[in-house]
Amino acid sequence: MRSLSLATVFAAASGFIVIWLASFTVDAASYAEFQAYWGLFFALTGAIDGVMQETTRAVADSRETGRTSKASPWRLGAVVALVAAVVAGVGGALGMDRIMADPPAAATGLLAAGLASYTLQAVLSGVLSGLKLWGRYATLVALDSGVRLLAVVAAWALGLGGGALLWVTVIGTVSWLVVLGTDPHARERLSTPVDVDARRLTRRALSAMVATGASAALITGFPVFVQASFKDAGAAAHAVGSGEGASVTVAGIILAVTLTRAPILVPLQRFQSALIVRFVAHRATLYRALGTPLAATLALGVVGALAAWALGPWILEVAFGKEELMVPGGVLAILTFASAFTGCLVITGAATLAVERHGSYVAGWVTASVVAFAVLFTPLALVPAVCTALVAGPTAGAAVHLVALGRRPAHHPATGTMT
């Protein structure tokens, strides 16, 4: 597990370095397109991660119980890969021009190929995790990030431009071929048994994909909707707002959202399992158990907002240097505090999972995404729209979770279980 922890830290650091170096590779308008494309790709892979989760569970349960079936996660992965490629191709043909000015066709093709390859990478990740081969899984995680990091360094050093950044985004998805190709027991990985038949495996994988996709849409996919909503504003500062936000460009606001989320959301996402355990242990007093983490998250949001207001503009100036990427301290403070609302949504979501209200968990994230994205398409200017969306969306989603948690569970006398 130590190797996996190190690989996870490396992956997180690599992601920030890629985003940082990319800002020196292209102009502000192209950088906004890259950030949106990056967000789109990883939002969609977030949904595909449901395949990894179910594969992990199915392989682990088969290993523990000895139950096996003729179902294959690889066959399921191949079908999902094909569907993902088709959906990406059709969706890209219809709307990629809202994100990419040039070349939308190439961006669509790479997106489709990348998602198809990532699906099979998710299957391998699930197999390795289910078999508790943490060292090999850590290699896969580190290789995925390392390849992408090397690619962006090359793109920056050679001045390859925005098209190269599309390759940077998807190139890590070939890592599963390298890991599988160097595995002395590769054939065994391809025939690893699972505990349920193909129908149940598919149904459970699709349910997991809905859940992971709902959260990824808001957390990772938000820049896509910002770019689509304000693409016509481009890099022209005067076209996006008034007042303190008058000098904020689309590229600047997307970068600011990405950076201000990390301090709160990255630790919370890593500790979701611990939160679920806490809420399971306090089912009888769930609202009271929610109080401490919610209050701590909002307090951290206040502290972070003050720090962002005082130090944020200086950090952007030192790290990025481009005038088009600068964001005023007041805006950074609001965005940082808004990230605490998304953090609260993560916490209430963990509580709904703890009491096995999976439908309510998905409904909360879907509600949050719909409300946030709807705000972006209102007549509001760039800065007010983004700030309002990141508060209103998570608040609506958390409200759905809290209402669901307030309902009395249905008790089944025959089994003594609750749902």
Tell me, yes or no, whether 239 and 204 share the same domain: no
Cβ–Cβ under 8 Å, residues 165 and 34: yes
Rounded Cα gap, residues 291 and 294, in angstroms: 5
User: Which of 183, 212, 187 minimizes the C-alpha distance to 122?
Assistant: 212
* Among candidate residues 220, 252, 271, the one where a domain is terminated: 220
Whether residues 208 and 317 share a domain: the answer is no
Q: What are 197-200's contacts with CB under 8 Å, separation 24+?
A: 197/69, 197/70, 197/71, 198/69, 198/70, 198/71, 198/72, 198/75, 198/76, 200/71
pLDDT given for residue 400 in this prediction: 96
Do 35 and 227 touch, CB atoms closer than 8 A? yes
**Which pLDDT band, with edges at 50, 70 and 90, does 185 fall under?**
confident
Same domain, 113 and 251: no
Please report whether residue 17 resides in a domain: yes
3-class secondary-structure state, position 411: strand
Among candidate residues 177, 202, 220, the one where a domain is terminated: 220
Evaluate if residue 232 carries a pLDDT over 90: no
Predicted local confidence at residue 416, as pLDDT: 44
Do 194 and 312 lie in one domain? The reply is no
* 25 DSSP assignment: T
> Looking only at Cα atoms, what is the longest distance across the chain?
68
Same domain, 377 and 309: yes
pLDDT over threshold 60, residue 237: no
Output Rg (C-alpha) for the chain, integer angstroms. 22
Tell me the per-residue pLDDT of 251-280, one tens digit each, with 9 for 90 and over: 899 999 989 988 888 778 766 757 877 888
Domain-located, residue 111:
yes
235 has pLDDT over 70: no
Q: Is the pLDDT of residue 398 over 70?
A: yes
| pLDDT tens string 188-202 | 888 899 888 999 999
Together in a domain, 167 and 305: no
> In terms of domains, do 143 and 216 share one?
yes
Q: pLDDT per residue over 126-182, tens digit each?
A: 899 888 888 898 899 899 999 999 999 999 999 888 889 999 999 999 999 999 999
Range of the domain at 261: 230-419
**Final residue of a structural domain among 155, 190, 220:** 220
**One domain, residues 68 and 197:** yes
Looking at the fold, whether 64 and 84 belong to one and the same domain comes out as: yes
Query: Given pLDDT bands bounded at 50, 70 and 90, which one contains residue 408?
Result: low
The DSSP bridge partners found for residue 418 are 411
236 & 124 share domain:
no
pLDDT tens per residue across span 51-103: 988 888 888 888 888 888 888 999 999 999 999 999 999 999 998 988 887 77
Residue 239 pLDDT > 60, yes or no?
A: no
Q: How confident is the model at residue 233 (pLDDT cuts 50, 70, 90)?
A: low
Both 2 and 131 in a single domain? yes
Nearest to 236 by CA among 25, 27, 40: 27
Q: Give the number of domains in the chain.
A: 2
In a domain, 225, yes or no: no
Do 208 and 341 belong together in one domain? Answer: no
